[in-house]
């Protein structure tokens, strides 16, 4: 009996380890790659450690690439994602609240529509959005990226779930009786209680915007407008090893460790935000699991 | 302060077969403490929410003073409500909860402070003003909910089972506190409960509801002595009134094979045939052999000053309906209470019997 349980445990552990290895090894590789030169990367063992000096050197190369283009891209990403997230929150939180806790004609239909557009692949909308943006002369401006980012049905759905599962209707009734109008009820009672879901929606929106590639790729034209994701593509394009024809500018060749470093730099802001917001996020994700 | 009038007010929930509240007519006087009571699902909460403006009125009208309020949103009705689960704002401290309505009404900060302090003093909450509701006991939360209502100085108080989350002892203590507070403030109050003892002890008048229909509204003693129907008779009083089938004959009313005399005038209106006989536990007494309704004692409940016996009427013992027939409850002197299992005879005290129509349950009174 005891032996059997022991065996199950060992098997369970092995399975878990397998998964850890499967997903962990590539991450580890990515972290280690910038510590090596291009030659070392190609010839040493995959998980070998190069040197800290090389790591710093690679970092400087990437940051200074073409006079700090990487920083411009990061700044663009921050503007697009920040603006998109802010607008998405402004729309999604009140929308979720309205769908969950107020009564109006067409509520169910609107909820169904939200679900449908939520499961629709976002890339499917990029072309029509581009035509729309170009029709109103927004292409090439930050708005062409920010406004589509503001459309975030998943956030509406998350807010809807949160409001309908965690906020007792009597609480809103109490506020109405206490003299609050509908906006007062939302601002004074519902919103302060919705902090975890505001954080969660903001996080998902921000990550989605930050990592989005196709939309900004279509909506922006020049190096100085690109966000990090599109910039990475430019970097790959100017790496001789991946595209021998594109020679790039003299002296600014990009090598494979540089690409790994650029990827790390691009992902870092999200990691930092996650670490800071972790506790609130977990609260938001667990909301509704327990009462009160 | 104000009067409240329900005029044929009805509420039919979407897709519901029967109205949750059916043509409610009720006039509540200025400063009165009225209690709505009835079994679960009878429409008490719905009536209250209609008055509060949280539930639409599908037919009829509701007036506060002379003004119809059915088209006004809750915030324009100048009422305060205590919810069953208190509905305190979890993110505000006690002071914030108490002062919320005043803050919304843009009352000056200094005045909010005075009024909150005043209410906190009345309700003994001064030490908790900076705590969040989550850090309070059930009784303290209940007081905050009360306090939130009284700082408003509204025209009408509504309370929906405000004591149901308290333990028995605290409930009894709080019961009298609320009644005393209401009398002191003199604010018209509609209080909902399903506990008839609470209703009888607190209310100036009590309105008994069943299935969305108001059965009777009157002062507690009238409800007890002259219920309009078998439902009110059985609902009001603890232990409950005994209701048993009887047959009106020329001599009186036969319960089983025992004939109990009834006043001539009452018998005349009753006609002949089946009726429902209502007997309070104190309307019965133990009698000598051959002088009353034979019964067998199932259980004796000793309460110190008094005792109740739960007895099975002899003519019910062999009936098929045995299981469905409730015990007869009789109040007896604890010093001479019979043992359980013993056979007794129950004598009906003169003029204490109530008769109800066997079908409709309506009270039969002397013409
Ligand atoms: N939101 C609703 N939608 C549909 N039906 C409802 C709704 N609220 C209440 N009802 C129904 O209306 C009837 C009256 O309900 P109400 O809540 O007024 O009863 P109550 O007397 O307060 O009961 P309790 O003592 O259990 O609180 C019940 O049959 C209930 O099922
Ligand atoms: Mg109720």
- Tell me the pTM: 0.83
**A170 chain-B contacts, CB cut-off 8 A:** 83, 85, 87
Query: What DSSP character marks residue B229?
Result: B
Q: Residue A121: how many CA atoms within 13 Å on its side-chain side? A: 4
- Nearest-atom number in ligand 1 for the CA of B48 is 18
- Nearest-atom number in ligand 1 for the CA of B49 is 18
Query: Does the CB of B39 have a partner CB in chain A at under 8 Å?
Result: no
Question: How far from B298 is each of A23, A49, A278, B309, B310, CA to CA, in Å?
Answer: 73, 88, 64, 7, 6
- Residue B289's pLDDT is 78
- Residue A286's pLDDT is 62
Decide if B53 and A176 are in contact by the 8 Å CB cutoff. yes
Q: Which residue in chain A is spatially nearest to B84 when comparing CA positions?
A: A170
- Asked whether residue B33 falls in the same domain as residue B111, the answer is yes
Ligand having the closest approach to the CA of B20: 1
CA–CA separation, B314 and B258 (whole Å): 11
Q: How far is B45 from chain A (nearest CA, A)?
A: 12
CATH number at residue B97: 3.40.50.300
In contact, B75 and A179? CB cutoff 8 Å: yes
Please name every residue paired with B253 in a beta bridge, in sequence order, or none if there are none: B248, B260
CB count in 10 Å sphere of residue A289: 8
As given in the structure block, the two tokens for residue B116 are: 């909150």
Work out the angle between the directed axes of helices A69-101 and A107-119 (0-180°, nearest 10).
150
Examine the fold and report which residue of B234, B259, B288 is the final residue of a domain before the chain moves on.
B234
Mean pLDDT of chain A, nearest integer: 88
Nearest to B174 by CA among B186, B156, B191, B154: B191
- Residue A289's pLDDT is 45
- Asked whether residue B229 falls in the same domain as residue B251, the answer is no
Q: Report the residue of A102, A169, A177 to disrupt the B interface, i.e. the one with the largest count of B CBs within 10 Å.
A: A177
Residues of A with CB under 8 A from a CB of B: 168, 170-171, 173-181, 184, 188-189, 192-193, 292
- Residue B321's pLDDT is 55
**Which residues' Cβ are closer than 6 Å to ligand 1?**
B 13, 16, 20, 38, 40-46, 194
* Apex B103 CA angle, B100 and B109, nearest 5: 120
3-class secondary structure, B361:
coil
Examine the fold and report which residue of B234, B260, B287 is the final residue of a domain before the chain moves on.
B234
CA–CA separation, B202 and B262 (whole Å): 34
Nearest to A232 by CA among A247, A210, A206: A210
State the pairing for strand pair B33-37/B205-210: parallel
pLDDT (average), residues A240-249? 64
- Residue B33's pLDDT is 97
Chunked in runs of 10, what are the mean pLDDT values of chain B (367 residues)? 93 94 97 96 96 95 95 94 93 95 95 95 93 91 94 94 90 91 94 94 96 96 95 93 90 87 86 90 87 88 91 73 73 90 90 91 88
In contact, B345 and B257? CB cutoff 8 Å: no
Is the per-residue pLDDT at A216 higher than 90? yes
Conformation bin of residue B285: beta by default, left when phi > 0, alpha when psi is -120 to 50? beta
The predicted complex's ipTM stands at: 0.85
As given in the structure block, the two tokens for residue B295 are: 């019964």
Ligand 1 site-directed mutation target among B20, B196, B207, most atoms within 8 Å of CB: B20
Which residues form the domain of B226? 4-234
CATH number at residue B323: 2.40.50.140
CA–CA separation, B247 and B249 (whole Å): 6
Q: Is the link from the previous residue into B239 a cis peptide, with omega within 30 of 0?
A: yes
- Residue B61's pLDDT is 96
- B137-169: b or e for each residue (b if 16 or more CB lie within 10 Å)? eeebbbbbbbbbbbbbebbbbbbbbbbeebeee
**Out of B49, B75, B91, whose CB is closest to A179?**
B75
Contacts of A113 (CB under 8 A, 6+ apart): none
Q: Which residue in chain A is spatially nearest to B79 when comparing CA positions?
A: A177
Number of helices and strands (H, E) in chain B? 10, 21
- Asked whether residue B302 falls in the same domain as residue B327, the answer is yes
Ligand 1 site-directed mutation target among B15, B24, B42, B48, most atoms within 8 Å of CB: B42
Please name every residue paired with B296 in a beta bridge, in sequence order, or none if there are none: B312, B343
* Apex B8 CA angle, B2 and B13, nearest 5: 105
pLDDT in tens, A20-43: 999 999 999 999 989 988 888 888
Q: Which residues surround ligand 2, an ion (CB under 5 A)?
A: B 45
In contact, B205 and B32? CB cutoff 8 Å: yes
Which pairs count as long-range contacts for A63-71, CB under 8 Å and 24+ apart, including other chains?
Answer: A63/A265, A65/A235, A65/A252, A65/A254, A65/A258, A66/A223, A66/A249, A66/A252, A69/A223, A69/A231, A70/A228, A70/A231, A70/A262, A70/A265
Q: Residue B221: how many CA atoms within 13 Å on its side-chain side? A: 0
Domain regions of chain A by residue span: 54-292
- Asked whether residue B185 falls in the same domain as residue B80, the answer is yes
Residue whose entry in the numeric block shows the structure tokens 């044929």: B8
**Out of A168, A179, A181, whose CB is closest to B87?**
A168
Per the structure, the count of domains in chain B is 2
- Asked whether residue B170 falls in the same domain as residue B260, the answer is no
CA–CA separation, B157 and B155 (whole Å): 7
- Asked whether residue B186 falls in the same domain as residue B229, the answer is yes
- Asked whether residue B219 falls in the same domain as residue B338, the answer is no
- Asked whether residue B222 falls in the same domain as residue B285, the answer is no
In contact, B35 and B58? CB cutoff 8 Å: no
pLDDT in tens, A47-92: 888 889 899 999 998 888 888 899 999 999 999 999 999 999 999 9
Nearest to A260 by CA among A51, A53, A62, A20: A62
Is the per-residue pLDDT at A291 higher than 50? no
Please name every residue paired with B28 in a beta bridge, in sequence order, or none if there are none: B4
- Asked whether residue B300 falls in the same domain as residue B321, the answer is yes
pLDDT in tens, A148-192: 999 999 999 999 999 999 899 999 999 999 999 999 999 999 999
Q: How far is B275 from chain A (nearest CA, A)?
A: 45
Helices (H), A64-166: 69-101, 107-119, 126-135, 143-150, 153-166
Does domain A54-292 sit in CATH 1.10.3720.10? Answer: yes
- Asked whether residue B251 falls in the same domain as residue B168, the answer is no
- Nearest-atom number in ligand 1 for the CA of B212 is 14
Nearest to B83 by CA among B12, B17, B198, B164: B164
- Nearest-atom number in ligand 1 for the CA of B42 is 21
Helices (H), B228-338: 230-235, 264-270, 314-317
- Asked whether residue B281 falls in the same domain as residue B352, the answer is yes
CA–CA separation, A235 and B335 (whole Å): 101
Is the per-residue pLDDT at A268 higher than 80? yes
As given in the structure block, the two tokens for residue A30 are: 């990515």
């Amino acid at each position: 009996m005891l032996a059997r349980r022991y065996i199950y445990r060992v098997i369970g552990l092995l399975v878990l380890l397998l998964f850890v290895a499967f997903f962990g090894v590539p991450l580890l590789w990515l972290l280690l790659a910038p510590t090596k030169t291009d030659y070392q990367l190609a010839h040493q063992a995959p998980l070998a450690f190069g040197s800290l000096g090389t790591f710093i050197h690679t970092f400087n190369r990437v940051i200074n690439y073409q006079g700090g283009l990487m920083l411009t891209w990061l700044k663009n990403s921050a503007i697009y994602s920040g603006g998109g997230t802010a607008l998405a929150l402004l729309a999604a939180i009140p929308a979720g609240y309205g769908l969950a806790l107020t009564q109006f004609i067409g509520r169910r239909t609107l909820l169904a529509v939200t679900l449908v557009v939520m499961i629709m692949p976002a890339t499917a909308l990029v072309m029509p959005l581009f035509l729309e943006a170009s029709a109103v002369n927004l292409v090439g401006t930050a708005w062409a990226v920010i406004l589509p980012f503001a459309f975030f049905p998943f956030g509406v759905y998350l807010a809807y779930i949160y409001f309908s599962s965690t906020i007792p209707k009597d609480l809103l009734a109490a506020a109405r009786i206490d003299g609050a109008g509908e906006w007062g009820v939302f601002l004074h009672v519902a919103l302060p209680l919705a902090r975890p879901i505001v954080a969660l929606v903001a996080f998902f929106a921000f990550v989605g915007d930050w990592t989005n590639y196709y939309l900004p790729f279509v909506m922006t034209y020049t190096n100085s407008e690109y966000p990090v994701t599109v910039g990475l593509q430019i970097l790959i394009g100017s790496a001789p090893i991946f595209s021998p024809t594109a020679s790039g500018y003299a002296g600014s060749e990009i090598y494979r460790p540089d690409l790994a470093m650029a990827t790390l730099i691009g992902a870092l802001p999200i990691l930092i935000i996650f670490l800071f917001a972790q506790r609130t996020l977990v609260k938001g994700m667990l909301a509704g699991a327990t009462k009160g | 302060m104000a009067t409240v009038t329900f005029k044929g007010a009805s509420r039919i929930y979407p897709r519901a077969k029967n109205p949750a509240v059916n043509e409610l007519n009720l006039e509540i006087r200025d400063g009165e403490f009225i209690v709505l009571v009835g079994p679960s699902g009878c429409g008490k909460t719905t009536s209250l929410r209609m008055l509060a403006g949280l539930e639409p009125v599908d037919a009829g009208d509701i007036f506060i003073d002379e003004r119809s309020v059915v088209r006004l949103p809750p915030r324009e009705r100048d009422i305060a409500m205590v919810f069953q689960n208190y509905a305190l704002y979890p993110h505000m401290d006690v002071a914030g909860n108490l002062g919320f309505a005043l803050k919304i009404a843009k009352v000056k900060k200094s005045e909010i402070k005075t009024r909150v302090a005043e209410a906190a003093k009345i309700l003994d909450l001064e030490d908790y003003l900076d705590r969040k509701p989550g850090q309070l006991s059930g009784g303290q939360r209940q007081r905050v909910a009360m306090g939130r209502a009284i700082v408003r100085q509204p025209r009408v108080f509504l309370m929906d089972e405000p004591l149901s989350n308290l333990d028995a002892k605290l409930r009894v203590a709080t019961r009298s506190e609320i009644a005393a507070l209401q009398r002191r403030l003199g604010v018209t109050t509609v209080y909902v409960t399903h506990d008839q003892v609470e209703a009888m002890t607190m209310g100036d008048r009590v309105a008994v509801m069943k299935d969305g229909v108001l059965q009777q509204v009157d002062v507690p003693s009238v409800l007890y002595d002259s219920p309009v129907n078998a439902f009110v008779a059985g609902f009001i009083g603890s232990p409950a009134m005994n209701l048993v089938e009887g047959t009106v004959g020329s001599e009186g009313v036969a319960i089983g094979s025992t004939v109990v005399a009834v006043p001539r005038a009452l018998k005349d209106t009753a006609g002949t045939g089946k009726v429902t006989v209502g007997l309070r536990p104190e309307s019965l007494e133990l009698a000598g052999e051959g002088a009353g309704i034979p019964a067998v004692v199932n259980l004796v409940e000793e309460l110190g000053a008094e005792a109740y016996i739960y007895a099975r009427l002899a003519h019910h013992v062999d009936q098929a309906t045995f299981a469905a027939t409730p015990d007869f409850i009789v109040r007896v002197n604890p010093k001479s209470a019979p043992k359980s299992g013993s056979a007794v005879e129950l004598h009906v005290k003169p003029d204490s019997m109530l008769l109800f129509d066997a079908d409709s349950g309506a009270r039969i009174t002397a013409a």
